[in-house]
Amino acid sequence: MAKPKVLIGARIHESVRAYLEGFCECEYCDANGLPREELLGKMSDKAGAIIFGTRVDAAFFDAAPLLKAVCNVSVGYNNVDVDEAKKRGVAVTNTPGVLDETVADLILGLMLSSSRRIAELDRYVRDGAWKPSDGTNLYGSDVHRKTLGIIGMGRIGEAVARRAVGGFSMEVRYYNRHRKPEAESALGVAWRDLDGLLAESDFIVCMMPLTEETRGMIGKREFSLMKPSAFFINASRGQTIDEKALIEALRNGTIAGAGLDVFEVEPIAPDNPLLTFDNVVLTPHLGSATHRTRNEMAMLAARNLKTVLEGGAALTPVY
């Protein structure tokens, strides 16, 4: 029996490639780097696809009449039109769980780097600006024993909370659509409504998934509620934030600084004002980007693909 043909549009490790080639015929490409028409042209005979953020919409499904599974190498799946997939009976999967601790590490790194001005002061030293007379002009802000507000207490939010409470003796507040009594008991965190969290917190971490309800949920009003000493961290999706309002808040001193792994438009435009602020730490959307974690994410996507193509239920289905 002929192996099913699949498109592998994400970078994968050799071990994942070997696993995939054991049950399917793979065509490898950089799906995000291909012209759209060229990508769609590859889909006519494909039963499955492994992708990393590639737009999957009605046109994609039209071009892939044999498609049975779209496997996202990501927790987020706002790149996929899930309603359209349901109509066509195509399974959609993501990769929750395997990246939680890695993303939480980065979030703590952004908190530390922004508050202690690590990236800014690295440039200061490299530029030869360090002087014996330097004093309070180089001071930063403490992280330990401060109050952390987490917007979106999912698995990653809980991993951040564990680090904050156990490692930095922080008070942790969280906002979620549904309260999580088990997390409150286990971690010692407290629920707040969004406005209360914004007003209390010294650090605010946004970890909300991108939906129509969360798009632009943090805007001018929300920034105005934050302390002028607060640091805002976003490692979820750039579109959950009104970026113009964030820029205005930074420019006006409404907040003290920010650490951002995600942006409204990616890659960030060279004329984006965020690039001009010394009190902003920027990373290129790499929350889960360690060798081990990305390999585990790709393997989970591959296992999902195998299961669906063999007629089973997806391991981590989106719906």
219 Rama class: left (phi>0) / alpha (psi -120 to 50) / beta: beta
Contact between 42 and 29 under an 8 Å Cβ cutoff? The reply is yes
Q: How many Cβ atoms from other residues are within 10 Å of residue 145's Cβ? A: 10
13, 116, 192, 285: the catalytic one is 285
- Active site (annotated) includes residue 266: yes
**Is residue 172 within a helix (H) or strand (E), and if so which, with residue range?**
strand 171-175
- Active site (annotated) includes residue 123: no
163, 237, 294, 303: the catalytic one is 237
**Is residue 285 within a helix (H) or strand (E), and if so which, with residue range?**
none
Per-residue burial over 149-165, b = 16 or more CB atoms within 10 Å of its CB, e = otherwise: bbbbbbbbbbbbbbbbb
123, 251, 266, 292: the catalytic one is 266
* Among 31, 13, 25, 40, residue whose Cα is nearest residue 72: 31
- Active site (annotated) includes residue 171: no
**Is residue 125 within a helix (H) or strand (E), and if so which, with residue range?**
helix 118-126
70 Cβ contact partners less than 8 Å away, ≥ 6 residues apart: 48, 49, 51, 56, 80, 85, 90, 91, 92, 93
**Which residues are catalytic, by number?**
237, 266, 285
